[in-house]
Amino acid sequence: MNFRSSIFLALLTTSALAAEAPPRNENTVVLDAAGVQNLGIETVTVEESTFERTITVLGKIEHICESHSVLSSRIAGRIIEVGIHKGEFAKKGDVLLRIESRQPGDPPPVIELKAPADGLVTRSEGHLGAPVEPDKELMEIVDLTNVWAVARVPQHQADLLKEGLTARVRIPALGKEEHQSAFLRLGTGGEFSPSTVDAIFELPNPGSKLRPGMRAEISLIAAKREGVFSIPRDALQGDRSNRFVFIKDYELANAFVRVPVTVGEIGTERVEITAGLLPGDEVVTRGSYALSFAGKGSASLKEALDAAHGHPHNEDGTEMSKEEIAAAAAGGGDHDHAHGGGGPLVIFLAIACGVLFVLLLASPFVFRTRTKF
């Protein structure tokens, strides 16, 4: 590499360093307390944790096969009393229906039909005065102490369905609460779609809140890694070529800094961070997307820094030199502010570029002198 090429490369490197160090006000959003509250900003502290690779599939809640029972009568007649209706819970032995027999008598014989098991009455044909036949099912009762979450797993991912696989199950109708369960067995058929297989996970159901037919979101935990630096997925902003997050400023209240990050594996709930963050950084989760469009915020970075440090700063966040303070006191502050101030880094880069430019101009003379000798 000749002398001129070396100087040109140095100029490019210096310019790149300048480009990589934007002024503080370009990547800091300063809000007032009302702005933080209006955006609903929430943060989490970055730390190493267990990172899970998950696959999310849809499914539904079903009753367990052996939990299902029906009520029927051995004799023909008509219903003269209904003790429990659809949607109510029955205990084993409770009288559900009273049937007046068709056999002759004065009065006709009356029999009681009792609950064969504990459970929820999910279907009922027991209406007052309705006819009863021996081959007719009058009620359906389901014990909901435990239920199945049946996942629709794409067939190309069915190799995950083996002993030891765990899943987190969330029921959107019941909010954000999650249930963890181990894989039980495969279903008996592709009821949902020919491209999926049924995977069954058993769940305890205290309070019988989980009901058959409810939609389920099921996250299959395919793998786990310990000690991984990760953040919640809703904290990550940008596209594949420009990933960034917002963190709380380390010294200013209600200030948030946009930080570029490099990501590794992206899970359903968390994202692995391989570069850009440090342990202890407070990353914005809720409100992060809104901060992306907040510009420089509703407050002044200069005023916030002045108040925090007790001495004046330029608009770009750099500290004012003695000369700049004197010029501002003499009435030259507006000029400095219009040009964004001149921090130590900017001054150094300007001098370095000037020296390198002079050397670049002088290089032809140096080259000719060496050639002459």
Residue 324 phi, psi (nearest 5):
-70, -40
In CATH, what number is assigned to the domain containing residue 182? 2.40.30.170
**pLDDT of 96:** 93
Determine the residue type at 37. Q
pLDDT of residue 151: 92
Helix 344-372 × helix 3-20 angle, to 10°: 170
Q: How many domains are contained in the chain?
A: 3
User: CB count, 10 Å around CB of 230?
Assistant: 25
> Cα dist. 128→63, 79, 124, 141 in Å?
28, 5, 12, 19
Instruction: Map residue 87 onto helix, strand or coil.
Output: coil
What pLDDT, on a 0 to 100 scale, did the predictor assign at position 223? 84
Residue 177 and residue 195 share a domain:
yes
Domain assignment present for residue 101? The answer is: yes
Contacts of residue 287, Cβ cutoff 8 Å, sequence gap at least 6: 39, 40, 41, 42
Q: What is the predicted pLDDT for the residue at 155?
A: 87
Half-sphere exposure of 361 (CA within 13 A, CB side): 5
| Position 313 in a domain | yes
Helix or strand holding residue 245 (H, E): strand 242-248
Token pair, residue 120, equals 């929820």
**Full pLDDT tens readout for the chain, 373 residues:** 454 554 444 444 444 444 455 677 677 888 888 888 888 899 999 888 888 888 889 999 999 988 889 999 999 999 999 999 999 999 999 999 999 998 888 888 999 999 999 999 999 998 999 999 998 999 999 999 999 999 999 888 888 888 889 999 999 999 888 899 999 998 876 455 678 889 999 999 988 899 999 999 999 988 888 888 899 989 999 888 889 999 988 888 888 989 999 999 888 788 899 999 998 899 999 988 888 887 766 667 666 666 666 667 776 667 767 676 677 667 654 444 444 444 555 565 667 666 666 666 665 554 454 444 4
Q: How many CB atoms lie within 10 A of CB 275?
A: 10
H-helix segments, the chain: 3-20, 33-39, 288-291, 301-309, 322-327, 333-338, 344-372
Measured CA distances, 126 to 121, 135, 139, 141 (Å): 11, 14, 7, 13
Q: In whole angstroms, what is the distance from residue 260 CA to residue 278 CA?
A: 12
In a domain, 263, yes or no: no
Residues 131, 73 share a domain: yes
Residues in contact with 13: Cβ distance below 8 Å, sequence separation at least 6, in sequence order: none
Backbone angles phi, psi at 75, to 5 degrees: -125, 155
Last residue of a domain, one of 126, 142, 158: 142
> The domain containing residue 130 runs over which residues?
65-142
User: Is 135 found in the same domain as 177?
Assistant: no
**One domain for residues 202 and 164:** yes
Residue 314 lies in a domain: yes
Rounded CA-CA distance 269/79 in Å is 54
Q: Specify the pLDDT at position 11.
A: 47
Q: Specify if 117 maps to a domain.
A: yes
Specify whether 119 is located in the same domain as 169: no
Q: What is the dihedral of CA 91, 93, 99, 100, to 10 degrees?
A: -150
Last residue of a domain, one of 195, 222, 249: 222
CA torsion sign, 47 to 53 to 59 to 65? negative
Q: Which of 167, 200, 222 is the last residue of a domain?
A: 222
192 in the same domain as 129: no
**What does each C-alpha distance from 202 to 188, 191, 209 come to in angstroms?**
15, 18, 15
- Selection from 87, 64, 65, 88 nearest residue 203 by Cα: 64
Domain match, 121 and 187 both: no
* Assigned domain for 228 exists: no
Residue 47 lies in a domain: no
158 in the same domain as 173: yes
Domain co-membership, 84 together with 123 = yes
| Statement to judge: residues 170 and 117 lie in one domain | no
Whether residue 99 is contained in a domain is answered as yes
Q: State the CATH number of the domain containing residue 120.
A: 2.40.50.100
Are 58 and 237 contacting, i.e. CB atoms less than 8 angstroms apart? Answer: no
